[in-house]
Every structure is written in structure tokens, then in C-alpha cells.
Amino acid sequence: MMTPRNDESPVSPTELGPHARVRAIPDPKFRFLMEQVYVDNPMWPLSDPTEAVLFRHFVQKLAIWLDLCDPEQNFQTKIPKQAGTCTVLMNAIFALASRHMSHVSDHDPLASNRYIGECLRHLKPILHYPDTMRDENLFAATIIQRVWEEMEVVIMGQDHQGYMLSIHRFVENGRLTPGSLSAAAFWIGLRQEIYIAVMSCEKVRVRLVPSLIDQSFSEASDYTWANRAVVHCAEVLNFCFGDEYRSATRPARWSELDAWNRQWSINLPTYCTPIFHDKDSDSRFPEIWYHKSCHAIGAQHHILAALFLARYDPNMGAYTDMKERIQSLVRRICGIGLGNQWTPPSMFTACMAIAAFAGECFYDRRDQEAILSILRKTEKDHARPTKAVQEKMMKKWNWAPKDAGMPMALDEQSE
């Protein structure tokens, strides 16, 4: 959060701690509200054993969902430390952990609502202050609340996307420098936006921040290679669902994106490639194993972009050829998900590809059962909502109502 010096010049967020910045806020009302967000004495040790369990569950089970492509692992390391003095951040952690545990265990299903209510009680009054958008802890808390909202679809049956507008504002008005917590939050927000775009067949609405993006093929870390694929996926979605696809320049832009997609594969360092790839597996999907989450997620977003490029190819030849390619790509994304279940977002991305493409390209009953098994396993094990996608698939495949509740046999693959 930005505050004035004695000479009214702005103070860098790294120059002062949050409490000093709060005390320096000139607006007394805003200062009072921020004093409710930041406490002087850290909350350690937590006095409630249930909340201690929730905190540990977030750090050990859920933060890894968010730190996929972040070499600093901010949500596993920095966020837990800063939550000790930031009430909004702490309650966001409690809310998400509580909701996840209520889906996968017998944890109180109402507890999560209380924590999210505490977040909103402190956040709502300050969201219209510009300095709020420069507070990296509140940006991170909003990202966590968005994951909570995605999980709420299991209960509510609909994704209201209520937190995405705030995420857009943090991206537009925040200070996003490479390696910062805000930059880490941006990358998570972008992946959340890609999920919405794929499920809704629309453009990615969050701004692509030039200072954070590297779309070259120069030597870089494996995290950068993964983020290059994520940005490319966003650009492909913007092409497919934006004005470019209806313009006269459509063939040229498609060729440009397709060329980039191919070059990413050609230039990808060998240490980012699978450690095992069994193309001849007896499973419905190839076995593909990676040893780092960013490798799996980067590959899946690269393939997801290739799927949309194939589906929206303005030079498309035989429709059957296109369907065969789409089916092959979907199998690869699903194979990555099943082969890397130790990083749950790989299963989430597989479900995205299934939602967008599997309904029209898979005719074999055994394929269909295996696909539904992925959807059901993802919801059961990780509280990721897939019921609507399951129903959509069965409708497209003309399944009889009696088939909807049948158990699906999922080929066991390495986790």
C-alpha cells in the first residue's frame, strides 16, 4: 500500500512494514479501517486447535495448487508468515481450508461461511480506496477467496465469479514487479481467468502485464517456460473468442500463433520434458509423468492452446482429420493429469480440456467411461466442481438416464 512521506512523495511498498504504512495513512477513516486489517501483535501461536489444523491444511495441501509456476513458492512460504498480522489473509486461509475439508471429510460445512464473512467485513469498506489495490497481502487474499468461490460451485451449482472483478482491479492498479507476491498472485489470477474463458467460451479478461511476460524462446528457468505456455494459451483464447477471429487478418494471426505453439515444443529444454512417456499403454490415455508441477502445467496449457488452434483453424481441411487431432491432444492432457495426480491442478486442467472438447470427439463407450471417471475423481478427491461437465458429456453422448449413476472404472495410473 502506498503512503506519503513528509514531503508527500510516495513510499515504496518495500520500504515500510504494513503497520508503519497504516500509521502513515493521512485519511483518518481509511487509517481506521486498515487498522482492523493489520494487527500489531502476530497471532502466533493460534489459540484454537481447529484453526491450527486449517492453517496447516492450507500450507500442506492447498498452497501447492497456487505455487505451480512460482519459483519463490510464495503461497507456501511468504503468505503463512504474513497472515500472522493480516486478519483478511488469515481468514481467507481458514475459509478455503475449511471449505476444502468439508468436501473431502466430515469437517463442519458451515465454518467456511463464517470465515469468508469475516474477510468481506474488512475488505468491502476499503475496496474503493486506490491504495488498497497496491496491498499485496489483500491481492493474495482475494486470489485465495477466488479459489474458495470456485469450490463453492459444488454447493451453489453456479460460478458467480464475484472475486474476479477485484482481481482485475488489483492487476490494473497494483505494483506488479517480477518475483513479488503481487506477481505471483497475477499468474494465479491469469490461470483462473483461463479456466473461466475455457468453460464459458469467451476472452480472457485480465490484462496481460508486459513487465511480467516473456514470450521469447531464449534460455530461461523451467518456471518461465511454463508461464510462457500459460500466456500463449490466453492469447489463443483471445484470438478464438475475440474480434481477431472475425477479421480479415484471421489467417495470418492464426499462423503466427500456430508457429509459436510449434516453436515452444521445439525449443523446450529437455529438463522440462516428461521423465516417462508410455505411448503404448493399455490405458485409454498415455502415461506421462513429470517430476515438477510447472512442467506438467506448462505442457497442459501448451496442449490446450493447440486444441483451440485446431478447433478454430481457418484453413481447416477435413473435419474428421481435425477431430482425430483433437482426440489425440485430449488424451495427452488427460494422460498428464492421471500421471501426475500428486499435483492436483493437472487433473483440473484435464477437466477443462474434457469440458471443451471431449463431448464431440469420443464415441467409444470405454473412452467415455474413462473420461467421466476423471471428472468424478477430481470432484471427489479435490472438491473441484465437475457435475455440470459430467451432465454435459452424458447429454452429448446420448446416454440413457439410468447410465448417469453407474460407477466408472478408472484405469489405475501412477500418482
Q: Please write the tens of the pLDDT for every residue from 201-214.
A: 999 999 999 999 99
Rounded CA gap, 1 and 409, in Å? 52
Confidence (pLDDT) at 411: 44
Residue 287 has pLDDT above 60, yes or no: yes
Residue 5, class by beta-carbon neighbours within 10 Å (0-12 exposed, 13-18 middle, 19+ buried)? exposed
The least confident of 71-80, 244-253, 292-301, 385-394 is: 244-253
Residue 15 has pLDDT above 50, yes or no: no
Conformational region of residue 8, where left means phi above 0, alpha means psi within -120 to 50, and beta covers everything else:
left
User: At 12, is the pLDDT very low, low, confident or very high (cuts 50, 70, 90)?
Assistant: very low
Rounded CA gap, 345 and 62, in Å? 10
| Number of domains into which the chain is organized | 1
Beta bridge partners of 277: 288
Residue, of 403 and 339, whose pLDDT is higher: 339
Beta bridge partners of 338: none
Residue, of 403 and 286, whose pLDDT is higher: 286
Give the three cell numbers for residue 300. Answer: 497442459
- Mean pLDDT along residues 268-281: 92
Residue 410 has pLDDT above 60, yes or no: no
* Residue-averaged pLDDT of the chain: 90
User: HSE-up of 345 (CA within 13 Å, CB side)?
Assistant: 25
Confidence (pLDDT) at 319: 62
pLDDT digits over 88-113, tens only? 999 999 999 999 999 999 999 899 99
pLDDT digits over 148-173, tens only? 999 987 655 566 678 998 999 999 99
**294 lies in some domain:** no
Rounded CA gap, 231 and 377, in Å? 28
**116 lies in some domain:** yes
Confidence (pLDDT) at 14: 42
* Residue 66 domain boundaries: 33-197
- Mean pLDDT along residues 115-122: 96
Rounded CA gap, 31 and 34, in Å? 5
Residue 335 has pLDDT above 90, yes or no: yes
In this structure, the number of other CB atoms found within 10 A of the CB of residue 245 comes to: 15
pLDDT digits over 380-409, tens only? 999 999 999 999 999 999 997 766 665 444
Beta bridge partners of 10: 4
Residue 316 has pLDDT above 60, yes or no: yes
Confidence (pLDDT) at 18: 74
Rounded CA gap, 288 and 275, in Å? 8
What does pTM read for this prediction?
0.91
- Mean pLDDT along residues 33-58: 95
Residue 52 has pLDDT above 50, yes or no: yes
- Sequential DSSP letters for 103-167: HHSS--TTHHHHHHHHHHHHHGGGTTSGGGGG-HHHHHHHHHHHHHHHHHHHHHSS---TTHHHH
Residue 163, class by beta-carbon neighbours within 10 Å (0-12 exposed, 13-18 middle, 19+ buried)? buried
User: At 175, is the pLDDT very low, low, confident or very high (cuts 50, 70, 90)?
Assistant: confident
User: At 318, is the pLDDT very low, low, confident or very high (cuts 50, 70, 90)?
Assistant: low
Confidence (pLDDT) at 408: 47
**141 lies in some domain:** yes
Rounded CA gap, 171 and 350, in Å? 27
- Mean pLDDT along residues 336-342: 97
Determine contact, residues 347/384, Cβ cutoff 8 Å: yes
**94 lies in some domain:** yes
Residue type, 139: F
Helix (H) or strand (E) holding 322: helix 319-339
Residue, of 23 and 101, whose pLDDT is higher: 101
**134 lies in some domain:** yes
Q: How far is CA 327 from the centre of its chain?
A: 24
Residue 45 has pLDDT above 50, yes or no: yes
**67 lies in some domain:** yes
Confidence (pLDDT) at 403: 65
Residue, of 10 and 317, whose pLDDT is higher: 317
**137 lies in some domain:** yes
User: At 282, is the pLDDT very low, low, confident or very high (cuts 50, 70, 90)?
Assistant: confident
**284 lies in some domain:** no
Residue 282, class by beta-carbon neighbours within 10 Å (0-12 exposed, 13-18 middle, 19+ buried)? exposed
Conformational region of residue 315, where left means phi above 0, alpha means psi within -120 to 50, and beta covers everything else:
alpha
